[in-house]
Amino acid sequence: MKNIGIWMDRKEAHIVILENDDEKMETVVSKIEDYRPVGGSRSKTRWGPQDVVQDSKYTERRKHQMKKYFEDLAARIGDAGAIAIYGPAAVGQKFGEYLEKNHRLLRGRVRCIEKADSMTENQVRALIRDFFTSIDRD
């Protein structure tokens, strides 16, 4: 059985694939942009109009980029037997919700969605390896 663990945040996802005694790791870089909208600018005239920052435009754009990132990840883990998702923020939770809504085959394979702080690649490998060995013992 192929076990897949993912540590993810908005910038990248580390996918650890455990199959038999083999272990592979892939890194997927997201294309989600960091938006830092700056306030509107003043007019040259004393009481002239101001430019307004359209926050909804930035939010909508980020939502589309996040969906594309999730679609890419779901395509890469499509043949998993069991899935564990980790991450430092709400991105892991959102990915779990995305799988629940959009990928019927994968949603039943998710074994855990937990928060985990930033880690090195070796720490990610160890965390995922330990999780699946503890499941195999039970």
Residue ranges of alpha helices (H) inside the chain are 55-76, 91-102, 104-107, 121-137
Average pLDDT on 92-107 reads 91
Tokens found for residue 23: 């272990």
Question: Who's near 86: CB < 8 A, 6+ residues apart?
Answer: 5, 6, 7, 8, 92, 113, 114, 115, 116, 124, 127, 128
Average pLDDT on 108-114 reads 93
- Tens digits of residue pLDDT in 34-54: 876 665 566 666 766 666 667
pLDDT band at 57 (very low <50, low <70, confident <90, very high): confident
CATH of 2-35+53-137, one of 2.60.40.1120, 3.40.50.1820, 3.30.420.60, 1.10.1040.10: 3.30.420.60
3-class state of residue 8 by DSSP: strand
For residue 89, give the amino acid letter: A
Tokens found for residue 39: 């306030």
For the ranges 5-19, 31-45, 62-76, 117-131, which has the lowest average pLDDT? 31-45
Residue pair 53/35 in contact by the 8 Å Cβ criterion: no
C-alpha 82/C-alpha 132 separation (Å) is: 9
> Percent of the chain at pLDDT above 90?
62
More confident residue, 11 or 34: 11
Tracing tokens 């999780």 back to the chain, one arrives at 131
